[in-house]
Amino acid sequence: MSLRFRLVLLLALCGGAVSMPAAVAAGAQPAPAEGRRLFMQVGCYQCHGTVGQGGAAGPRLAPDAWPLEALLPFLRNGTRLMPAYPASILADAEIAAIQVYLASIPAPPRPGAVPALRGVRGVPAAAARP
Ligand code: HEC
């Protein structure tokens, strides 16, 4: 069953009175893969990188992704430097899916733990994560 269909079903069951984030909070947990698809489709990756690693045009988004309560209003409003994403482009539930994707991205390995970087000047020796 698709995410959209599940949410529509949930909204119908609730009489359509709840907002999408409430519907998501009620248990329709979106899959990270759906969030990734949307992240690529609407172009977040162009500024933030395909795994939210950041780039020349946008800051790093993961790990430590913003919670949905912060991400949702931020995307709706945008900033002077980042475009806004109105509901006509991304539904609340789609933003929730993007948040799940960003929150699923693991921290990168420490440089010293990457075999190809071992012994490179300036790369500290691998140490256990704190
Ligand atoms: C045109 C480039 C661009 C696109 C496309 C873009 N962003 Fe951004 N984003 C930025 C820039 C630049 C900032 C920093 C904004 C500022 O400081 O005013 C930012 C900031 C953010 C932040 C805050 C990060 C922080 O730690 O301050 C989040 C979260 C974010 N973007 C998510 C997204 C998502 C999700 C999408 C897609 C729906 C997206 N962005 C699309 C350029 C972009």
User: Between 84 and 29, where is the model more confident?
Assistant: 84
- Whether residue 90 is contained in a domain is answered as yes
Average pLDDT estimate for 11-25: 45
Q: How far is the CA of 104 from the centre of ligand 1 (A)?
A: 18
- Specify the residue with its C-alpha closest to ligand 1, atom 8: 82
Q: Which of 38, 40, 74, 82 has most ligand 1 atoms within 8 Å of its beta carbon, as the pocket-test mutant?
A: 82
Query: Using omega within 30 degrees of 0 as the cis cutoff, is the peptide bond preceding 108 cis?
Result: no
- Whether residue 93 is contained in a domain is answered as yes
User: Between 107 and 7, where is the model more confident?
Assistant: 107
CA 125/CA 87 separation, integer angstroms: 47
CATH number of the domain encompassing residue 91: 1.10.760.10
Greatest extent of the chain over all pairs of C-alpha atoms, in Å: 62
Q: How far is the CA of 109 from the centre of ligand 1 (A)?
A: 24
* ∠ CA 1-105-10, rounded to 5°: 25
- Whether residue 11 is contained in a domain is answered as no
Q: What is the pTM of this model?
A: 0.79
- Whether residue 72 is contained in a domain is answered as yes
Average pLDDT estimate for 59-87: 98
Buried b (16+ CB within 10 A) or exposed e, 48-85: bbebbeeeeebeebbeebeebeebbeebeeeeeebeeb
**pLDDT of 24 strictly over 80:** no
The total number of structural domains in the chain stands at: 1
In this predicted structure, what is the pLDDT of residue 127? 61
- Whether residue 120 is contained in a domain is answered as no
Give the CA-trace dihedral at 9, 11, 14, 17, to 10 degrees: -160
- Whether residue 130 is contained in a domain is answered as no
- Whether residue 67 is contained in a domain is answered as yes
CA 21/CA 92 separation, integer angstroms: 6
pLDDT band at 17 (very low <50, low <70, confident <90, very high): very low
Average pLDDT estimate for 50-65: 96
At 79-111, the pLDDT tens digits run: 999 999 999 999 999 999 999 999 999 998 888
